[in-house]
Structure 1
């Protein structure tokens, strides 16, 4: 991990540990609630893992706090500003692609705003999110191939789409130039249903 990734992993690990201890949960209880191995939870808390977005979503859902809370300071402010370059890069590809969480709200209705870049040949596949999740995607540059529950849609610069995020979905760049898009994800009712919802 580079220095930025290591710092982010340490921040996430500390927040997961704080939230777990605040609930007086053991490592095993959090692992069971999140549907993860105990070893994975230990690695995340120690900052020694570079967890996938799916793993982070499972942890944030189990804790009932929403993904943005794992990477933002636990303080409430009227306005939270994320300066250019300060977002949390939670996915990267060997080709240079990157997904940066640039803003988010707190539970119960968690809204995430992402800045995605897919390098040529990049693909990101996501399992179905929690029931009721919705996503909005707006292509800023290039071409994005979306696959939503088995159906393929091709979006080019300026195109936008809205879709249910509680079905399997994927984003791909099959062109020879980078693609960039904004993604908003709404997950209603975080922390108001049974813990350990599948992701």
Structure 2
């Protein structure tokens, strides 16, 4: 196993980044909920999740799905990016982004930045060979733009799969069930822009 200059392994660094995300999101959710004077039960009902899950999220003891964080954000009249991105000047460039999702095979999603009006999010995804991510539908009218930087990305859509090679792009409605998968032998690296979610 390789180590970084600070002595940490890549796996430890990834776990640390994920825990930072989980802790940040949980703290912000709790602060917004308390600021509204809402109980855990009230927010859980508004977000359509269990009270136990919400408690675990607020305490940084659960790694919720992207869709779960989005449902909580909507219930609090905010958005995913406001909960996920580090605080600071929104005009300041994010070099690495915020690790929002990762799997044991090394696949991961970085939220690089977002705008408020109109709402849009910029992501950089890496799917390892054999990697797959199942998404849940976004709000009606939401769309995603995908641009493949390297490898091949297959979009699983209700109308059938669509495979994109390096340099190719596609726009899909994301208010439907869909998934990403990498059937190739090398990582699939792609940019993803989400609008209207």
CA separation of 1:118 and 1:26: change in aligned 2, threshold 3 A? same
In the alignment, what sits opposite 1:103? 113
Cα displacement string for residues 59-106 of structure 1 (whole angstroms, at most 9, x for unaligned residues): 11211211100123566x46132123xx22111122111011110123
Gaps of 5+ in 2: 1-11
Divergent runs of 4+, >3 A = none
Name the SS for the 1:101 alignment partner: strand
Gaps of 5+ in 1: 189-199
Higher RCO (C-alpha under 8 Å, 6+ residues apart): 1
Number of aligned residues: 184
In the alignment, what sits opposite 1:139? 148
RMSD: 1.7
Distance 1:78 1:126 in 2: 27
Work out whether residues 144 and 173 of structure 1, in 8 Å CA contact, stay in contact via their aligned partners in 2.
yes
Counting only pairs closer than 5 Å after superposition, residues 1-199 of structure 1 correspond to structure 2 as 2-73=15-86, 77=89, 79-84=91-96, 87-106=97-116, 109-187=118-196
Distance 1:72 1:91 in 2: 13
CA separation of 1:25 and 1:109: change in aligned 2, threshold 3 A? farther
